[in-house]
Amino acid sequence: MLKINNLHANIEDKSILKGINLEVKPGEVHAIMGPNGSGKSTLASVIAGKEEYEVTEGNIVFEGEDIEELAAEERAHKGVFLSFQYPVEIPGVSVTNFMKTAINESRKAKGLEDMPAKDMLKLIREKSELLEIDRKFLSRSLNEGFSGGEKKRNEIFQMAMLEPKLAILDETDSGLDIDALRIVANGVNKLKSKDNAVVVITHYQRLLDHIVPDYVHVLYNGKIVKSGSKELAHELEEKGYDWIKEEVNA
């Protein structure tokens, strides 16, 4: 589904990603861990198509197509979804209107008519129940004044609405208390199928108790320096990242 080959990316001439290789197949869950500043969020943003980053080498292939030249919205239409570490507050746009616009724009891109209002409401009701989101919440301005937990739950609600093929969850566990973590993880697990894939980017192992990865990769200094099974996450939790850094620097 996703194949990243020797990906190098810069921001303002500063090199952040220095040769990433990663392959994600349908039905898989991958975790990308690593110390602060290792390039985890950059990788997520580059896959989603943030324009500030410049891909200088390598490529990103999604469903057999090179996507690094595509605009963020075109990648979204193909089924790429990024759950933001810091969801942006957009005063004046309600959650419902935002989702309606997003869904109908995706449909338009696929040559489909707008979703009938009745179906839209039903979908919203269904998915908000999945994330235990209160109806009142949906008429509030997007992310404005939301607590950390509400923002993250809202991200996964959007994922549920858009049903992406590939979901990248960037530090979705940060700022969550244990109940919110459970709701969010539960939501992601219910959305999982053999046809879609999830990449979980996290600093800590705690989310991975709930969303169990098939593979764990350690990103350090812009490269994946170690890959393994879910046990690797436990090892990192226990021993921290210093031993990885020592291994790499040795």
Binding site for another protein (CB under 8 A): 48-52, 71-73, 75-77, 81-82, 84, 87-88, 90-94, 97-98, 100-106, 109, 114, 141, 158, 162
Considering the complex, state which of residue 30 and residue 78 has its C-beta at the smaller distance from another protein: 78
Q: Tell me the three-class secondary structure of 120-183, residue by residue.
A: HHHHHHHHHHHCCCCHHHHCCEECCCCCHHHHHHHHHHHHHHHCCCEEEEECCCCCCCHHHHHH
Which CB sits closer to another protein, 72 or 225? 72
Query: Is 5 or 104 the residue whose CB approaches another protein more closely?
Result: 104
User: Minimum Å distance from CB 119 to another protein?
Assistant: 15
Q: Which residue type occupies 130? A: L
Given CA atoms 117, 122, 128, 131 in this order, what sign does their dihedral have? negative
CB of 168 to another protein, least distance (A): 10
What one-character DSSP code corresponds to residue 104?
Answer: H
Least separation in angstroms between residue 56's CB and another protein is 20
The smaller minimum CB distance to another protein, of residues 99 and 224, is found at 99
Q: In this complex, which beta carbon is closest to another protein, that of residue 81 or of residue 215?
A: 81
Residue the block writes with tokens 């235990």: 132
Q: Decide whether 142 or 232 has the Cβ nearer to another protein.
A: 142
Min. distance of Cβ 140 from another protein in angstroms?
A: 13
Tracing tokens 């969020």 back to the chain, one arrives at 41
Which residue has 């861990």 as its token pair?
33
Task: Classify residue 42 as exposed, middle or buried by CB count within 10 Å of its CB (0-12, 13-18, 19+).
Answer: buried
Minimum CB separation of residue 208 from another protein in Å reads 24
Q: Order of strands across the sheet with 29-33?
A: 80-83, 166-170, 197-201, 29-33, 215-220, 223-228
Q: How far is the CB of 120 from another protein (least distance, A)?
A: 11
